[in-house]
Chain A
Amino acid sequence: MAIESDVLVIGGGLAGMMSALTAADQGVSVRLISYKQSTLRQASGLIDLLGYLPGDQTPVVSPYEAIGALPAEHPYAILGTDRVRAAMDRFDAAVGYDGAGTELNTLVATHAGGFKPTFRTPKSVTAGALADGGSMLLVGFDPIADFDAPFAAAMLSEAGVPFEVRGETLPFPVEQASDAGIGRFAALIEEDPAVPATGRSLRETIATAIGALAGDAARVGLPAILGTQESAAIIAELEAEVGVPVFEVPMGPPSMLGSRLEAELHAALDAAGVSMELGNPVVDADADDRIDAVYVEKNHAQVPYAAAEYVLATGGLVGKGVGSDRSQVYEPIFGCHVPQPQDRSEWYDDEVFGTHLFPRFGVEVGADLRPRTSNGAVEYENLRAAGSIIGGADFAKEKSGSGISIATGVAAGNAAAEGVA
């Protein structure tokens, strides 16, 4: 016997969650199994669709139009523009991000003073778009080394942004251990304790200090620590005091924006009746032409799970959906074929920022998203892949990670649900 569902999604990242949500749309029973918390916590929380074409340094303006210029093995090229667009619509319906309905990229400042083209932004980030044009004040906090506001402002000015940008650093009004992480600051801002020195709350104290610095800035950017779960009310409170729009600058891990997106998607999955399990990996499978069951390893015990259709959304090299050792690159659960050069020295380029092959490692799929063997045959009738387990894209360079996850996730979820019927 096994724990059963119609569709079993393996992997709880953006691709897995979108697969599960889409499959549940069609009324089948869906279970999502995730080894660890979603890697969204390591991600910016922005939704990039396609920021750069391979080998091109110019940001893409219209990603849907640019899909036509991608190589044939790219996941977007395999799906085709219409399915990518439909998937983004499904994301827009599920999550309250800005940009729904628009087809153009927007440039957003990063916490190191760079910028990147992205497609959908959390509402708290939108006012920081570079195209906005209003003069910008970036405010960092002394103990948060990850966001050096004067440095970020200087970098943006250097890059030639079409507005004035200034950076200031404030002490954090509540004293913290010197190694406190950004999650701690986010939790404090959410909790909003009284600050003895000012006799006011933490948020009021911060707002007053920012107000005194704002001058004629048309908008104020703070590191993305304005609450762990809910930033809208906190931002509104700050804006009321500062008098201009306040926005969050996306930060590195642990990413509050990513963790809020994870929570929002979990709520959507829960509302859709999806069963979810976190904490243990899928390690093995009973399979022939079809997969009969997979095994979740709970320490030494292997617990069987069976479904009619499976979605493999275990991530790439970072998420450990793709494994590697000194001689080969492989897909660890089902042993799906991963194209790779025989000679290890071809996996990478000698230049650090050169064009490496390894980011493109992953399984090969057809338009049906079923992984293919080395001679192009379907690996398993009831297995589809989604997200960065699929090879053929260098998402970090292209700024296409979230978009590929959403596009292939929705397509795989749809196909799996149809497979059940």
Chain B
Amino acid sequence: MSDAERPGFAPTQPNTGTEFEPVQVFPEVADSDLRSGADSCYKCSTCDVNCPVAAVDDSFPGPKFQGPEQWRLHQRDDEHVIDESIMSCSNCMRCDNACPSGVPLSQMHNTARAEYVNEQMSHRSVEYWRNRLLSNYRLSAWAASKAPRVANWMLNFGPARRVLEMTLGITAEREFPAFATETFRQWWRGRGGAATSRDRAKAARQRRGLDEEADKKIAYFHGCYSNYNTPEVGRALVRVYEHFGYEVVVPKQGCSGTPMFANGMIDDAARHKDRTLAGFAPELDAGYDVIASCTSCSMALRQEYPELFDDDGIDALSGRTYEGIEYLRIHEDLPGALAAEEAPDDFPDTFAYHAPCHARNQGLARQAIELFRHLEGVSVEDVGESCSGISGTYGWKQEKYEASMQIGEEMFEHMESAAGTTGMTECPTCAMQMEHGTSYPIRHPLELLAAVLTD
């Protein structure tokens, strides 16, 4: 029954007396109902001001439309299908912490995008298959890791790349990242896996005067990139944690789903989520906390998983996932440990640091900058608040490449004017973009930490 049909309801004479009893029109809803989020939007458009895509693409209507406005239209009737511009959202999630009213913008975007891809986009289109290929990076990386040298040559072979661009719309402007000749997991197994880590952690605890049986243990979510492309980041994480006396285990895991959410490939993301949940369940039961070195991976496990899936165990995983350095800041005296050390000889000492958008939403945007202030002889300079522009798979799409580089321009300029000629960031694809725009080598803060604290 609408208000107009309610007996005694006379809109021209509002009932403002003390007899007024507010009524709840909609029942309290839990979980994934987005109505309360849509209702919270008061259209201040601060999200639109923060949107890096809207800043360079006039045709993109911005997060306020993509989120609450589209949600309302779509509820209204079947005619209002999801607008195709949802595919231009890069899922940087900056709108989330811009909103003064707590509207779950990225959740709305992810939900709308999944619906658009599942129900409106042709599954025979080149775009669909291109996006699926890009978002299932783990599969390509797995294949490439079987013959990394050949893959590295082939994937950056000019004519092949031009064909890839013409047929699939994957830009030929970018260098494919090199695949490691030894993946992180190969290294981990060759080193003796969890048993070796247990011994090394015990030795470290002994050395540090801690209880040898102390309950210090973490399960590492390395994600795809640290496994196939930058195993040095994974190795650094293991060494740093063992240095502080933590046993590391590396459960079976899928992709975090970040590129899949950004492409609306929710079913692919769900498949990988199942693998990760199954892999980490025993460790969570045994009291291990989950640590990620990639800030988009930690973002996915922490925020997108509970927003988009409702499996048993999701909340436990989400509630006990931390970013690699964040966890050490909680449990160890990192400032003290760094203050006691000096800059390493065999590692750069001046960095141009870019905070990934996904780190920003986890409150980690200034973590590396503030942490390394405690280390004599090292300078980590913030290159500003702008988005790098690549947003995972976004900048790999031929039709988005220009926008991606335009968004990144501010970061490139600030990197050029920063003192260091080595970049630093936690996000693998931000790192690709930083390198692409400046030719600087890019390091992860954990690598610096390992270089300082471990042999």
> Which residues of A pack against B, CB within 8 Å?
1-3, 33, 35-37, 39, 41-42, 176-177, 179-181, 183-184, 187, 228, 253-254, 259, 273, 275-280, 296, 298-304, 318-320, 326, 345, 350
B96 / chain A contacts, CB cutoff of 8 Å: 279
Residue contact B49 to A183, C-beta cutoff 8 Å: yes
Rounded to whole angstroms, the CA-CA distance of A386 and B332 in the bound complex is 31
Interfacial chain B residues near A279, Cβ < 8 Å: 96-97, 360-363, 365
Cα of A387 to Cα of B90 in the assembled complex, Å: 36
A180 to B22 alpha-carbon distance, docked (Å): 37
Mark the stretch among B55-63, B133-141, B164-172, B204-212 that contacts chain A. B55-63
**B152 partner residues in chain A, CB cutoff 8 A:** none
CA distance A320 to B103 in the complex (A): 13
Instruction: Give chain B residues whose Cβ lies under 8 Å from the Cβ of A302.
Output: 319
B366 sits at the interface (CB 8 A): yes
CB neighbours (8 Å) of B16 from chain A are: 350
In the assembled complex, the CB of A355 is this many whole angstroms from the nearest CB of chain B, namely 15
Q: Is the CB of B326 within 8 A of A303?
A: yes
B315 at the interface (CB under 8 A from A): yes
Q: Does A176 contact B97, Cβ atoms closer than 8 Å?
A: no
| Inter-subunit contact A181/B360 (CB<8 Å) | no
Report the separation of the CA atoms of residues A285 and B331 in the bound assembly, to the nearest whole angstrom. 18
Contacts A1-B332, A183-B48 given; indicate if A280 touches B362 (C-beta within 8 A): yes
Choice from A177, A183, A277, A299 contacting B45 with Cβ under 8 Å: A183
Contact B44–A301 (Cβ < 8 Å): no
8 extra interchain contacts, Cβ-Cβ under 8 A, other than A181-B45, A273-B373, A280-B362? A176-B58, A228-B49, A254-B45, A278-B365, A279-B363, A280-B363, A298-B363, A345-B18
CB distance from B92 to the nearest CB of A (A): 13
Alpha-carbon gap, A277 to B220, bound state (A): 25
Give the one of B20, B102, B362 with max A CB within 10 A: B362
Residue of A nearest to B99 (CB): A36
> If A1-B330, A300-B306 touch, does A253 touch B362 (CB 8 Å cutoff)?
no
Query: Is the CB–CB distance between A299 and B100 below 8 Å?
Result: no
**A277→B48 contact, CB < 8 A:** no
Provide the bound-state CA to CA distance between A230 and B46, in Å.
Answer: 18
Residues of A within 8 A of B320 (CB): 300-301
Q: Is the beta-carbon distance between A300 and B318 smaller than 8 angstroms?
A: yes
- In contact, B360 and A278 (Cβ under 8 angstroms): yes
Interface string of B120-142 (1 = CB under 8 A from A): 00000000000000000000000
Q: B18, B59, B97, B363 — which one has the most chain A CB atoms within 10 A of its CB?
A: B363
When the two chains form their complex, are residues A303 and B44 in contact, meaning their CB atoms are under 8 A apart? no
Report how far A39 CA is from B45 CA in the complex, Å: 13
10 contacts between A and B (CB under 8 A): A36-B100, A41-B44, A177-B59, A180-B58, A184-B49, A275-B366, A277-B363, A279-B362, A300-B318, A302-B319
Give which listed residue, A42, A180, A303, A350, contacts B100 with CB less than 8 A.
A42
Q: Is the CB of B97 within 8 A of A37?
A: yes
Which B429-449 residues have a C-beta within 8 angstroms of A? none
Contacting residues of chain B (283-325) with chain A, CB-CB under 8 angstroms: 302-303, 306, 315, 318-322
B54 within 8 A of A: yes
Within 8 A of A (CB), among B38-85: 44-46, 48-50, 54-55, 58-59, 61-62, 65
| Residue ID in chain A nearest B18 by CB atoms | A345
Chain B residues numbered 8-43 whose CB sits less than 8 Å from any CB in chain A: 16-18, 20, 22
Q: Which of B44, B322, B361, B366 contacts A254 (CB 8 A)?
A: B44
Asked if B329 lies at the interface with its beta carbon under 8 angstroms from chain A, I say: yes
Q: Which residue of A lies closest to B44 (CB)?
A: A253
Do A179 and B61 touch across chains, with their CB atoms under 8 A apart?
Answer: yes
Evaluate contact between B330 and A41: CB separation under 8 angstroms: no
